[in-house]
């Protein structure tokens, strides 16, 4: 076809005779005449449109064959009519591979999947042979391919693979087309599949939509099926006899093979994957976010009666109005976020303290907040401000409990009694309670209620009389346990 194009150019554009064309091309004059005759019967004129260029332009957004033909005719007014133009493009396109016949708009879709076969590397310490799984992502318009090995196919690796692919592409396409693993689709459905929450959050972070392929329909994602096959042949097969002693070393070899694949010229198209990527797709990808995505694990939990949610054996507070309701929990490496009906209601620093509590004061009811504003020292200071007797009663209440917080309410009750009966009467009631050794909120309240604080104070208890020594008083040693027979104490 290139020779025919050259003959037509020399005949039509240069105006050479058949003899001159034969001499220029190094062929016989009869051959020139034969080619020109066939071109005329086939309807070929000059200039011939560049079908490689046409095919490349059709991958750009909103570009149609009509538009490309109009641009062609504006540059070559005597060129092909639209019908001929379409027919020649159809003939040129026919020999292409099936996967290349699909026209994908640049920057539109990325196809993603795990390769079926695995890689291996050897632990240098134990000699154990460890598996590695190859993740493949390919851009639809350019076939530009990303491949990297990961130690497993769990959610964290699935997310990491997408982040690495976007950074390799220096952007994100408008749509991701994955298969239906649980890390991507928790509930497959032809009409409305349920996307994994962490995966959906990742897509939102990159401004991308997720469009899973139908279950058991590989033709929905022929790009990645073909890319996986190519990756297995160009990467896995090339590394089959090599031994690696770390995952990083393995991935360095994978990256070199992947770069070679992207630089490899197309067989039936002009250029290579990297060239098409730079020309077509890279300018149309969504730019990467400023902040790198951090994986968050999503769970559901019910708010306990104490307005805390248990997450990994630690308790985190939420507003008390959510008691008894279900919330969504997002676990990140260093933070815990809690959501209710899509709205974030709490955020805490993640803690590893088992059975511990992380509480924000604003989440408590007002009564609880006022209660916890008090400390033992503050309560004693308040009681002492009423008077020495009230201060002594407050200390006695706090000291009588195993933990000071158990005496908070009783001390707060004394404050209430001071407001109800006055501080003067409270001071007198505390004096009476101390004298009778009955310090407690109930006892002091009964003293005030019965107006015993207005009566003369009780006489002080007499001091105990000293014990006079007497022969009939056996003393403490008499009641000690007798030594066992035969023991040294018994024989002494």
Q: How far apart are CA 456 and CA 453, in angstroms?
A: 8
Q: Which residue has the higher pLDDT, 270 or 8?
A: 270
User: Quick one: average pLDDT of 46-56?
Assistant: 69
What pLDDT digit, counting tens, does each position of 357-387 carry?
898 888 887 765 555 555 666 777 778 888 8
Helix (H, G, I), strand (E, B) or coil at 339: strand
Q: Which residue has the higher pLDDT, 9 or 148?
A: 148
Main-chain phi, psi angles of 463, to 5 degrees: -70, 145
Main-chain phi, psi angles of 62, to 5 degrees: 70, 5
Measured in whole angstroms, the distance separating CA 29 from the mean position of its chain's CA atoms is 71
Give Dmax over CA atoms of the chain in angstroms.
156
High-pLDDT (> 90) share of the chain, %? 28
**pLDDT attached to residue 342:** 84
Domains of the chain with CATH codes: 2-97 (no CATH), 109-284 (3.30.420.10), 297-366 (no CATH), 374-454 (no CATH)
Q: Output the CA torsion sign for 312, 316, 322, 328.
A: negative
Task: Tell me what the pLDDT averaged over the chain comes to.
Answer: 81
Count other Cβ atoms within 10 Å, centred on residue 201.
17
What pLDDT digit, counting tens, does each position of 160-175 carry?
999 999 999 999 999 9
The DSSP line for 294-335 is ---EEEEEE--TTSEEEETTEEEE--GGGTT-EEEEEE-SSE
Q: pLDDT class for 39, splitting at 50, 70, 90?
A: low
pTM equals: 0.53
Identify which of 336, 335, 333 has the alpha carbon closest to the alpha carbon of residue 309. Answer: 336
pLDDT at 43 over 60: no
The DSSP line for 92-141 is HHTTS-HHHHS---TTTEEEEEEEEEEEEEE-TTT--EEEEEEEEEEETT
Q: pLDDT class for 337, splitting at 50, 70, 90?
A: very high
**pLDDT attached to residue 98:** 44
What letter would DSSP give residue 172?
B
pLDDT at 10 over 80: no
What pLDDT digit, counting tens, does each position of 246-298 carry?
999 999 999 999 999 999 888 767 788 999 899 889 999 999 999 888 888 88
């Amino acid at each position: 076809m290139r020779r025919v194009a050259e003959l037509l150019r020399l005949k039509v554009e240069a105006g050479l005779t058949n003899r001159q064309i034969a001499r220029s091309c190094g062929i016989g004059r009869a051959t020139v005449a034969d080619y020109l005759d066939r071109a005329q019967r086939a309807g070929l004129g000059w200039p011939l449109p560049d079908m490689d260029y046409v095919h490349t332009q059709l991958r750009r957004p909103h570009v149609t064959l009509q538009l490309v033909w109009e641009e062609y005719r504006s540059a070559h007014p005597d060129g092909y009519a639209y019908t001929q133009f379409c027919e020649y493009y159809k003939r040129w396109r026919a020999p292409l591979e099936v996967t290349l016949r699909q026209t994908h708009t640049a920057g539109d879709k990325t196809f993603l999947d795990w390769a079926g076969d695995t890689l291996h590397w050897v632990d240098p310490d134990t000699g154990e042979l460890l598996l590695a799984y190859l993740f493949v992502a390919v851009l639809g318009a350019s076939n530009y391919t990303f491949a990297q090995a990961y130690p497993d196919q769990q959610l964290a690796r699935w997310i990491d693979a997408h982040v690495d692919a976007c950074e390799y592409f220096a952007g994100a396409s408008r749509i991701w087309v994955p298969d239906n693993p649980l890390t991507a689709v928790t509930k497959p459905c032809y009409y409305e599949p349920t996307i994994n929450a962490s995966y959906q959050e990742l897509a939102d972070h990159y401004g991308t939509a997720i469009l899973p392929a139908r279950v058991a329909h590989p033709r929905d994602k022929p790009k990645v099926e073909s890319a996986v096959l190519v990756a297995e042949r160009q990467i896995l097969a090339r590394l089959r006899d090599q031994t690696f002693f770390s995952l990083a070393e393995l991935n360095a070899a994978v990256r070199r093979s992947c770069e070679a694949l992207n630089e490899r010229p197309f067989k039936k198209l002009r250029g290579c994957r990297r060239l098409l990527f730079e020309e077509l797709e890279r300018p149309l990808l969504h730019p990467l976010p400023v902040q790198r995505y951090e994986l968050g694990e999503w769970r559901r939990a019910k708010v306990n009666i104490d307005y805390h949610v248990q997450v990994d054996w630690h308790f985190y507070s939420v507003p008390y109005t959510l008691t008894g309701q279900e919330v969504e929990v997002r676990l990140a490496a260093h933070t815990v976020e809690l959501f209710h009906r899509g709205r974030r209601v709490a955020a805490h620093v993640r803690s590893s303290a088992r059975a511990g509590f992380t509480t924000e004061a604003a989440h408590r009811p007002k009564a609880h907040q006022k209660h916890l504003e008090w400390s033992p020292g503050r309560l004693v200071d308040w009681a002492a401000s009423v008077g020495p007797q009230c201060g002594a009663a407050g200390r006695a209440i706090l000291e009588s409990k195993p933990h000071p917080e158990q005496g908070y309410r009783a001390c707060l009750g004394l404050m209430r009694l001071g407001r109800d009966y006055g501080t003067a009467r409270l001071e007198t009631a505390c004096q009476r309670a101390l004298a009778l050794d009955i310090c407690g909120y109930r006892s002091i309240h009964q003293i005030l209620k019965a107006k015993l604080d207005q009566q003369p104070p009780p006489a002080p208890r007499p001091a105990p009389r000293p014990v006079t020594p007497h022969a009939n008083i056996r003393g403490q040693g008499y009641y000690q346990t007798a030594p066992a027979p035969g023991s040294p104490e018994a024989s002494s």
